[in-house]
Amino acid sequence: MSLSVGDTAPEFSLPDQDKQVVSLAELRGAPVLVVFYPFAFSGTCTGELCQLRDELATYTDAGVRVVAISTDPTFALKAFREKEGFGFPLLSDFWPHGATAQAYGVFNDKAGMALRGTFLVDAEGTITFAEINGPGDARAQSGWKDAVAELSAAA
């Protein structure tokens, strides 16, 4: 079951590319853009995260924290972040495998990976934007930006 606008975002505590634990609870007080993606180094995922990297100021200038989550191990995420120069944490949902993706309703059991799920969580932990795209279905990030603009205007 996937999550919808108005739902409370499930908590998570996941290691980042440097094995430092990042939790949604620690980020509370600021909006968080949670971006699930299937695999580090894959073509579509790299393109999406590079666009996010290049347009990061759109989010950070609005006070939004950005985290990207995949089922890759931390070692792969470290190499991916270093190669592409991402300025946001890459979180590993490797073990228990896909547990956070499952909680958000974006885990593909057959492939053992996260779908392309995007959630904007407000400062209180409520989902204000939710989008799920299947494997190979690249996301248009304009919807994310519109959601951030709406959230900023309401603040």
| CATH code for residues 38-154 | 3.40.30.10
The pLDDT, as a whole number, for residue 23 is 98
Confidence band, pLDDT 50/70/90 cuts, at residue 140: confident
Q: Is 45 a catalytic residue?
A: yes
Yes or no: say if 92 and 78 are a contact pair by the CB < 8 Å rule.
Answer: no
The whole-angstrom separation of Cα 108 and Cα 46 is: 19
The pLDDT, as a whole number, for residue 143 is 87
- Partnered with residue 126 across adjacent β-strands are 8
pTM of the predicted model, to two decimals? Answer: 0.95
In the structure encoding, which two tokens stand for residue 65, read together?
């924290």
pLDDT, one tens digit per residue, over 7-50 is: 999 999 999 999 999 999 999 999 999 999 999 999 899 999 99
- Among residues 9, 40, 45, 148, which one is catalytic? 45
Q: What angle do CA 61, 63, 67 make, to 5 degrees?
A: 100
Residue spans per domain, the chain: 38-154
Beta strands in the chain (DSSP E): 13-15, 21-23, 32-36, 65-70, 90-92, 107-108, 113-114, 116-121, 127-133
